[in-house]
Amino acid sequence: MFWSNEFPQLDNTTLRELSRAIDRGYLSFSREFGPMIETAFEPLLHFLIWFERLLLESPWWLVILATGLISFLASRSWKLMTGVVLALCGIGILGMWEDTMRTMAMILVCTLLSVIVGIPIGILMARSERAKNTILPVLDVMQTMPSFVYLIPVVMLLGIGRVPGLIAVVIYAISPVIRLTNLGIRLVEKEALEAADAFGASRMQKLLKVQLPLALPNIMAGINQTIMMALAMVVIASMIGVRGLGQPVLQAVTNQYFALGLFNGAAVVILAIIFDRITQSFGMRLQKHQQGGR
């Protein structure tokens, strides 16, 4: 027994009973609270739908114009702006405009949500060892628990559609921004912090004027990763009924349409790059002092 390589596991019936008990528990939980939770998410759903409509129903050239403008404002770079506009036109010409807009709406909201929620959590973690020690494992779980595992429970709770999709994306994508905000703040030099203390900075002042600016390179790396991961979830989200670029990708996979998958995948990548470049060049503009140097 001891020498074998068979692990002395629980026998099958016990295991089975255990699983079934959990399943039944979850089932009755979802029956009990599902409608309530659903109602709670209603405003988010409406917002998502409204935003998607906005992007879909505005004339395409207006959307391109607006995106170009935003990219220019964020980066002050003509090159970036032209790139963004051309890429969007390319997407349109290849017939993926509608799906791209849907995905863009979804991901924009997800990224915003992740950043807005993630940065404060990262700050909290950097501030308190205890917070760090409790949050880290949660992040590990959120990032590595295969989304397939919670997709179905989420579907059973909230049905298929945008809200469960959004939840799945945010759960997965929020980790890096939290982690890197934490890391960045922790790496801020002691000297600068001491100086801030010596001049009586309140915690908020220290945070806003010293820690966050100095942690910016790391925070931006976190946001970059969050965007990347959100877009990496596009297909998974489409598995629970979120419309957008994920659908044709799945379709391509199930039908062996290599090129179709590639086009739509490329559209996802382009969205990712647009989002990323805009945020990063905005971040760079916030770090002017890094540019000088010997």
Partner 1 sequence: AECGNVTIAEMNWASAQVAARVDEFILKNGYGCDAEIIPGDTMPTATSMSEKGRPDIAPELWMNNVKEPINRAVGEGRLVIVGDVLENPAENAGEGWWIPRYMLEKNPELATIDGIKKHPELFKDPEDPSKGRVLGCPSGWACQITTDNLYRAYDLEDAGFNLVDPGSGAAMAGAIGRAYNRGEGLLTYYWAPTSVLARYDMVRVGLEDFNQEEFDACIAIADCPDPKPNNFPVTEIKTVVATTFAEKNPEPMEYLKNRLWTGKDYDDMLIYMDENQADGQTAAEHFLKNYESSWREWVPADVAEKVKAAL
Partner 2 sequence: MSTDIAISIRNLYKVFGRNPAKAMEKVHQGMGKDELLEKTGHVIGLNNVNLDMERHRIQVVMGLSGSGKSTLIRHINRLIAPTEGEILVDGEDVIKLDQQALRDLRRFKISMVFQKFALFPHRTILENVGYGLENQGMAREKILETSRQWIERVGLNGFEDHYPQQLSGGMQQRVGLARALATDAEILLMDEAFSALDPLIRTEMQNVMLELQNELQKTIVFITHDLDEALRIGDTIAILRDGVIVQNDDPQNILMSPADTYVASFMKDINRARVLRVRAIMNKPQETDSGPVIKPNTTIETALQIFAESSSDHLIVADRSGTRVGRLTVEDLIRGMRRPSQSEIQAQQAVT
Q: Which stretch binds partner 2 (CB under 8 A): 17-25, 47-55, 173-181, 210-218?
A: 210-218
Helix (H, G, I), strand (E, B) or coil at 209: helix
- What is the per-residue binding string for a copy of itself in 220-259, x denoting contact by CB under 8 A? -x--xx--xx-xx-xx----------x--xx-xx--xxxx
Dihedral Cα 29, 31, 32, 35, nearest 10 deg: 120
264 binds a copy of itself (CB under 8 A): yes
In whole angstroms, how far apart are CA 58 and each of 51, 63, 72, 84, 261? Answer: 11, 7, 20, 18, 27
Q: How far is the CB of 43 from a copy of itself (least distance, A)?
A: 26
Q: How far is the CB of 210 from a copy of itself (least distance, A)?
A: 16
Q: Which stretch binds partner 2 (CB under 8 A): 40-48, 65-73, 111-119, 185-193?
A: 185-193
Count CB-CB contacts under 10 A for residue 121: 20
How far apart are the C-alpha atoms of 88 and 270, rounded to whole Å? 8
Write out the DSSP string of 111-155: HHHHHHHHHHHHHHHHH-HHHHHHHHHHHHHHHHS-HHHHHHHHH
The angle, 0 to 180 degrees and rounded to 10, between the axes of the packed helices 258-285 and 212-232 is 170
Q: How far is the CB of 64 from a copy of itself (least distance, A)?
A: 9
CA triplet 269, 162, 274: central angle to 5 degrees?
A: 20
141 binds a copy of itself (CB under 8 A): yes
Which residues of this protein are in contact with partner 1, per CB under 8 A? 12, 16, 19-20, 23, 27, 30-31, 34, 38, 45, 49, 148, 151-152, 155-162, 238-243, 246-248, 250-257, 259-260
Q: Which stretch binds a copy of itself (CB under 8 A): 42-50, 71-79, 108-116, 177-185?
A: 177-185
- What is the per-residue binding string for a copy of itself in 153-172, x denoting contact by CB under 8 A? x--x---------------x
292 binds partner 2 (CB under 8 A): yes
The angle, 0 to 180 degrees and rounded to 10, between the axes of the packed helices 258-285 and 246-255 is 150
Chosen from a copy of itself, partner 1, ligand ATP, none, partner binding at 34 (C-beta under 5 to 8 Å by type): partner 1
205 binds partner 2 (CB under 8 A): yes
Q: How far is the CB of 294 from ligand ATP (least distance, A)?
A: 5
Phi-psi region of 288 (alpha: psi -120 to 50; beta: other; left: phi over 0): alpha
Q: How far is the CB of 221 from partner 1 (least distance, A)?
A: 32
Residues of the shown chain interacting with partner 2 in the complex, contacts defined by CB under 8 A: 190-192, 194-202, 205, 209-210, 213-214, 216, 287-289, 292-294
